[in-house]
A and B are shown apart, each in its own frame.
Chain A
Amino acid sequence: NAGVTQTPKFRILKIGQSMTLQCTQDMNHNYMYWYRQDPGMGLKLIYYSVGAGITDKGEVPNGYNVSRSTTEDFPLRLELAAPSQTSVYFCASSSASGISTDTQYFGPGTRLTVL
């Protein structure tokens, strides 16, 4: 099993550009998440999804959009990149039980720099 995969691994954007970070999982997990990790900080939840067609905002959603058309894929869209969005982005998924004891499985991350 590949688990959670993310592309690209690295990307440099200019201010105002847009891009989509891809995330795919092959574990048939209903729950998927996007986090950002800033230096010296814990992970902050951007958006999450409890199933295809259902998404909701996390702690820091401004400047981002998501969609969930299939169980496997959960892309994150940056429309107008800003330097404040320079970060490492992690996608994660967890099982369909959606309870507090679930383990989340993380992808390897995308390191994004906005200049």
Chain B
Amino acid sequence: GNSVTQMEGPVTLSEEAFLTINCTYTATGYPSLFWYVQYPGEGLQLLLKATKADDKGSNKGFEATYRKETTSFHLEKGSVQVSDSAVYFCALSDQNDYKLSFGAGTTVTVRA
């Protein structure tokens, strides 16, 4: 079956530091890949997505590239802010399905 493995947290960074959260997946065929973010006290919201190999998703300074050869979708941001403190979830949906499989989530705390 499908599965998503994320880098374990928590991750604590200083403002303007570089952030990377690793995500690898197991799926049949060509899944779509997503990063969702959950800010404190809120529900999840889509941060970015990529729907085919070598696609790069980007939003709010975050980027992730769909690497089929390494089955990875690592999230990066060059300079984090305190407002980026949140839980980040990597997720996938199989090409023949619309249901999501989520990773365990990575808690990121950015200190001023």
- Are A48 and B99 touching (Cβ within 8 A)? yes
- Are B43 and A106 touching (Cβ within 8 A)? yes
The reply to whether the CB of B73 lies closer than 8 angstroms to some CB of chain A is no
- Are A108 and B42 touching (Cβ within 8 A)? yes
Complex: A106 Cα to B89 Cα, angstroms:
13
The reply to whether the CB of B25 lies closer than 8 angstroms to some CB of chain A is no
The residues of A with any CB-CB pair to B shorter than 8 Å are 4, 31, 33, 40-45, 48, 58, 90, 92, 94, 98-109
Q: Can you name 14 A-B residue pairings with CB atoms under 8 Å? A: A42-B4, A42-B104, A42-B105, A99-B98, A100-B32, A100-B93, A100-B96, A102-B98, A103-B34, A103-B46, A104-B46, A106-B36, A106-B43, A108-B43
- Are A43 and B97 touching (Cβ within 8 A)? no
Contact-size category for B: 20 to 34
Complex: A67 Cα to B42 Cα, angstroms:
25
Contact partners of A109 in chain B: CB under 8 A: 42-43
- Are B103 and A42 touching (Cβ within 8 A)? yes
- Are B102 and A106 touching (Cβ within 8 A)? no
Within 8 A of A (CB), among B32-54: 32, 34, 36, 41-46, 49, 51
- Are A101 and B51 touching (Cβ within 8 A)? yes
Complex: A99 Cα to B97 Cα, angstroms:
6
Q: How far is the CB of A34 from chain B (nearest CB, A)?
A: 12
The reply to whether the CB of B94 lies closer than 8 angstroms to some CB of chain A is yes
A41, A94, A103, A108: the one contacting B49 at CB < 8 Å is A103
Complex: A58 Cα to B31 Cα, angstroms:
19
B89, B94, B98: the one contacting A31 at CB < 8 Å is B98
Contact partners of B32 in chain A: CB under 8 A: 100-101
Complex: A31 Cα to B99 Cα, angstroms:
10
Complex: A106 Cα to B46 Cα, angstroms:
9
Of all chain B residues, the one with the shortest Cβ separation from A31 is: B98
